[in-house]
Amino acid sequence: MAYLDNAATTPMLPEAVAAMTELLGKPGNPSSLHASGRKARRQVEESRERVARALGCGSAEVVFTAGGTEANNIAIKGIAWDQRTKDPRRNRIVAGSTEHHAVLDPVRWLGESEGFEVTWIKSDASGEITVAALREALGPDPTNVALVSVILANNEVGTISDITALTEVTREFGIRFHTDAVQAPAWLDLDFSKLGVCAMSVSAHKVGGPHGIGALIISRDCHVTPLIHGGGQERDVRSGTLDTPAILGFATALEITTARKAETVSRVAALRDDLVKRVKEIAPDATYSGAITNRLVNNAHFVFPGCLGDSLLMLLDAQGVECSVGSACNAGVPQPSHVMVAMGADEDQARSTLRFSLGWNSTQADVDALIAALPSAIARAKRAGVPKVTTAPVRV
């Protein structure tokens, strides 16, 4: 099998598996005062310090969550509620049009159910959110904005936005800024203290860690109204008994990924470049989506004209090559990728995409397997064509 869907999830690092296995089955609630509880608490706090070192933040700024989706929801809802409570005029949320659904959906919910006004920031043709686009979205009166949220590295096309430059704009008006950085830690040198954001979401399973654990990094001066009330854990931001084995697995994976990053980035960038070159040789009409250089080194996203992305995916899967499409599926009906639509693609283009994403254990054999399988898959997909969509496209 050739696994080329690391942007969706990565295989766990053996060291993370070993660290978790050692704790599984042992007692110890980190909130308990007896010896087992104190030991679990020590493991949690040591892991918190390791995560903080890897991400350039203070250990007190690390709030463990059940993953990136929960971290995004806590940040977006919690900061928006807090800011509006403090100043009722701050009733607007500004977010990127190319965000992951873990940001899009809570922002939409706040607009539909909580009365917030929502403004979407226009993307450029590469998927980047620029300073000019942010200023346009903020409008003539940015003082009514409670929160801005912009993804650091796009999960579909891999394009990186200059978050530091964007936060310089919002700082002028005292606006809170959140970034979904879930795709970034394995490939970019993240330093929370220099980004200028007040909240940043990360997830363990994108860096060789386990599913179901992540973190929201929250600056010391940022208050978040909690979504979950209970035992008051994690600065009273995220109550609930902490999963000590998963937290240890997360910290171990992030620490190892950070230590090996330079070598991994260099090796994977060469594999990605080889993949792109050979795909273009097979399919000269295929277009490469996203930024050419300012993108994650593990991401290769293509539009294959005349081929339904879902068909290509299944045809490759039948030959042992696993990747992903850039579209969502609603009730079994393929929909155009909202990211591609935001970048200016037409609906056929937005339904004809494939994303190949490499990871820490990707090899030349994975790329070779794709190249061997792709010609027949494209030929069969083109014969089937791209059927017309009978439902409205997903837009923001």
Residue 136: strand, helix, or coil: helix
Note whether 270 and 297 are within 8 A (CB).
no
User: Which residues make beta-bridge pairs with 151?
Assistant: none
Q: Which of 218, 178, 202, 180 is nearest to 57 (CA)?
A: 218
**Catalytic residue (choose from 57, 198, 323, 329):** 329
Note the Cα 362 to chain centre separation in Å: 20
End-to-end CA distance of the chain: 36
Q: Are 6 and 297 in contact (CB under 8 A)?
A: no
Measured CA to CA, the distance from residue 76 to residue 149 in angstroms comes to: 8
Instruction: Please state, in angstroms and rounded to a whole number, the distance separating the CA atoms of residues 254 and 51.
Output: 7
Neighbours of 305 (CB within 10 A): 15
CA angle 191, 197, 201 (to 5 degrees): 75
* C-alpha torsion sign, points 110, 112, 114, 118: positive
Burial tier of 79 (Cβ tally within 10 Å: 0-12, 13-18, 19+): buried
**Active site includes 57?**
no
Query: What are the tokens at 230?
Result: 């209970």
Give whole-number Cα distances, 95 to 9, 146, 345, in Å. Answer: 25, 11, 20
Among residues 2, 322, 294, the alpha carbon closest in space to that of 157 is found at 294
Please report the sign of the dihedral spanned by the C-alpha atoms of residue 195, residue 201, residue 206, residue 210. positive
Which residues are annotated as catalytic? 329
